[in-house]
Amino acid sequence: MLLKKVDPRALKDNPDRSRRTKSTSQADALLLATIKLVGILQPPVIVPEQGGGNGYLIEVGHRRVKQAIAAGLDEIEVLEVEVSDDHGAMRSMIENVAREPLNPVDQWRGIERLVVLGWTEEAIAAALGLAPRRVRQLRLFGSVLPAMLDHMAKGDMPNEQQLRTIAAAPVDDQKEVWKKYKPSKDDPKVTWWNVSNALTKTRMYAKHASFDDELARAYGIEWVEDLFGPADEDGRYTTNVEAFLGAQQEWMTNHLPKRGVIAEVNSWGEPILPPKAERVYGKAGKSDRIAMYLDRNGTVQSVAYRMPAPKKAQGNGTSPAGDAAETPTGRPDVTRRGIGMIGDFRTDALHEALSRAPIANDTLMALLVLALAGRNITIASGTSDDVYGFARMDRHAVRLIGQDGKLGFDEDTLQQAARGALIEVLSCRENRSDSGIVARIAGEAIGADAFLPNMGTEEFLSCLSRPALEGSCKDTPVLPRPRVKETRAALVAHFTDGRFVHPSALFAPDSAALANWLAKHEAVAEDEQEEPHTELQDCDSGAEAQGDDAEQFREAA
């Protein structure tokens, strides 16, 4: 065996080497960084070329030679050995198989030794081809109880989450927990979950904080970097829970919207709204209010809600009656809260369909006529200047007026203006904005059912009676359970990645309600037909003045 220096470019690859699979780019980068900083620690093994050649073949160390060339080295040290009977096959196998990588504890001990010798974390990371964050992670082993480290070095390692919890705990706490859960002769393995669970402290993360650094300093919050968390996320945290929640409360107080409230939460983490408030599960309207609260992670959340409209006093002392109000003989299939949720879902789906679904021009004209028949529409003429809902219609009408003050638009502009006007008018919400049955007819006409959200959620299914809930199991593999909440939980789990729409939420109105509505309005239409239509007569006279455009003028009227 002879140690000598050679030009790595003069060495030839052994065609019979053991490692044929191409190494990863990360492994090559690690080896290159090491060679650049500290050189080749173990010389490659070479043998004289056989068959009349005068060169050398690489028997062991092909990657080292390749990366030495990449590093620009003119010479490297190599070990020249005699050609073996098996052409170096066993030496090549031992070189690649017999090595055992350092476990994390030994890596930490080696890093600490380098730090004592004057190496910085950045220099160590560059020499070993590691990220500086990984070097800092390994140095956290210095915060682990030595008795735990000795056991981990034997190969019984906790997972990353458990190790993070252990390293963050004070050493005195680790000693007490280790006395209880350390291995015994009968059970040499450690249940690391028990150890980490006993050392767990509630953490509040900076990524969940709404307050700024100034408010954090005012509350004495000191952030600690979570080195085991994802590298692309803000891993800072604090265990000072009271200070974190206090800063969040102050931020909510300073940023509370007009007429907003800060709500407490119940045992399920849901906000407690004011009495008689109805939660808005769709898009919040201008008249809706906002409640802000802190969830279980300490994150500021907000929900919209609306208060019921004040009831008008009745002159005859009777209570106001809705459309076809009936006294229920038992619990209805859907509670009042569920009906309100359906109204929100329908309205959002209807507006989404009006924005995105294809609508023919003739259908659009029919919808505009329907919309004017909605019960949330007030049509006035003359001196009335308080027309509900029409103030915001001006922005749609303006789009149809040209610079000369006359009607001027293209088909696309007309379509967009008509759609916008319908969105302003049509609503299924359970308040004054409810358009009534015409909104449901319009929604069915444009396929708004396809835009309804998944109702297979805990919030909505809790609004169903037991028969209605069990009826929702139809066409699913879910079978009714003895307890209602078990059936509901099974349906929620089933529809997590699917979609469920309760039949009562579909837009198509039931035949009885539709027949009553048609009968009521057809009677009004018959009465109007008995009287002369002076408006159309005026249009006819105007049409004569237009010459050949008479027919078009009459149709427009």
Phi, psi (degrees; rounded to nearest 5) at 220: 70, 30
Q: Distance (Å, rounded) from C-alpha 364 to C-alpha 454? A: 28
Structure tokens at 491: 């349906």
Summary mean pLDDT of the chain: 77
List 279's β-bridge partners, or say none: 305
CB under 8 A, 24+ apart: contacts of 381-388:
388/432
Residue 391 CB-density burial (10 A; 0-12 exposed, 13-18 middle, 19+ buried): exposed
**Higher model confidence: residue 86 or residue 373?**
373
Read off the tokens for 306.
Answer: 């609306």
Gap between the Cα atoms of 342 and 427, Å rounded: 12
**74-117 per-position pLDDT tens digit:** 888 888 887 765 555 566 655 555 455 667 777 788 888 888 88
Check: CB of residue 209 under 8 Å from CB of residue 248.
Answer: yes
Instruction: Centre a 10 Å sphere on the Cβ of residue 91 and count the other Cβ atoms it contains.
Output: 17
Q: Please state the rounded mean pLDDT for residues 197-218.
A: 87
Residue 554 burial (CB count, 10 A): 14
d(CA 405, CA 424): 24
For 98-112, 380-394, 513-527, which range has the lowest pLDDT when averaged over its residues? 380-394
- Rounded-to-integer distance, Cα 557 and Cα 554, Å: 5
Compare 97 and 190 and report the one with higher pLDDT: 190
Are 208 and 298 in contact by the 8 Å Cβ rule? The answer is: yes
Of the two residues 68 and 296, the one the predictor is more confident about is 68
The third-level CATH classification (topology) of the domain covering 2-97 is: 3.90.1530
pLDDT tens figures, 12-27: 887 766 666 677 787 7
Residue 183 three-state SS: coil
Residue 331: helix, strand or coil by DSSP?
Answer: coil
Q: What is the pLDDT of residues 436-484, one digit of tens each?
A: 888 888 889 889 999 999 999 998 998 888 888 888 888 888 888 888 8
- For 85-151, give the DSSP string: TTTTHHHHHHHHHS--PPPHHHHHHHHHHHHHTT--HHHHHHHHT--HHHHHHHHGGGGS-HHHHHH
Greatest mean pLDDT range, 39-43, 305-309, 466-470, 536-540: 466-470
> What does the pLDDT average to over 173-195?
86
The answer to whether the CB of 417 falls within 8 A of the CB of 346 is no
- Asked if the model's pLDDT at residue 199 lies above 70, the reply is yes
**What are the Cα distances from residue 13, in Å, to 46, 55, 60, 64, 73?**
10, 11, 10, 12, 18
> What is the average per-residue pLDDT within 242-258?
88
DSSP string, 257-274: PTT-EEPPB-TTS-B-PP
Q: Which two tokens stand for residue 253?
A: 């107080």
Q: Distance (Å, rounded) from C-alpha 156 to C-alpha 158?
A: 7
Query: Do 113 and 43 touch, CB atoms closer than 8 A?
Result: no
471: its two tokens:
């009826």
pLDDT band at 32 (very low <50, low <70, confident <90, very high): confident
Query: 388 versus 261: which is more confidently predicted?
Result: 261
> How far is residue 419's CA from residue 475's CA, in Å, rounded to a whole number?
36
Kindly give the pairing relationship between strand 236-238 and strand 224-225. antiparallel
Query: Could you report the per-residue pLDDT of 322-372, keeping only the tens digit for each?
Result: 444 344 455 688 888 888 888 888 888 888 888 888 888 878 777 776 777
Mean pLDDT value of segment 40-57: 78
Q: What is the pLDDT of residue 322?
A: 40
pLDDT for residue 392: 58
| 57 SS3 class | strand
| Domain spans in the chain, listed from the N-terminal domain onward | 2-97, 260-309, 336-380+389-518, 526-556
Q: Cβ contacts of residue 267 below 8 Å, gap of 6+?
A: none
Query: Could you report how far apart the first and last alpha carbons of the chain are, in Å?
Result: 108
Distance between CA atoms of residues 413 and 399, nearest Å: 7
The pLDDT assigned to 538 comes to 43
Position 325: which residue type? A
Residue 292: pLDDT band (50, 70, 90) is very high
- Two structure tokens written together for 27: 């492994």
The full DSSP string for 367-414 is: HHHHHHTSTT-----TT----TTTGGGHHHHHTTB-TTSSB---HHHH
For residue 309, pLDDT over 90 is answered with: no
Instruction: Report the distance separating Cα 541 and Cα 550, nearest Å.
Output: 9
Distance of CA 292 to the CA centre of its chain: 20
Enter the tokens of residue 240: 């000072």
Q: Which residue has the higher pLDDT, 472 or 396?
A: 472
- Do residues 280 and 428 lie in contact, with contact meaning Cβ atoms separated by under 8 Å? no
Do the beta carbons of residue 64 and residue 23 sit within 8 Å?
Answer: no
pLDDT higher than 80, residue 36: yes
User: Cα–Cα distance between 104 and 102 in angstroms, integer?
Assistant: 6
Length of the chain in residues, anyone? 557
Q: Which residues are CB-contacts of 239 (< 8 A; sequence separation ≥ 6)? A: 201, 202, 203, 204, 224
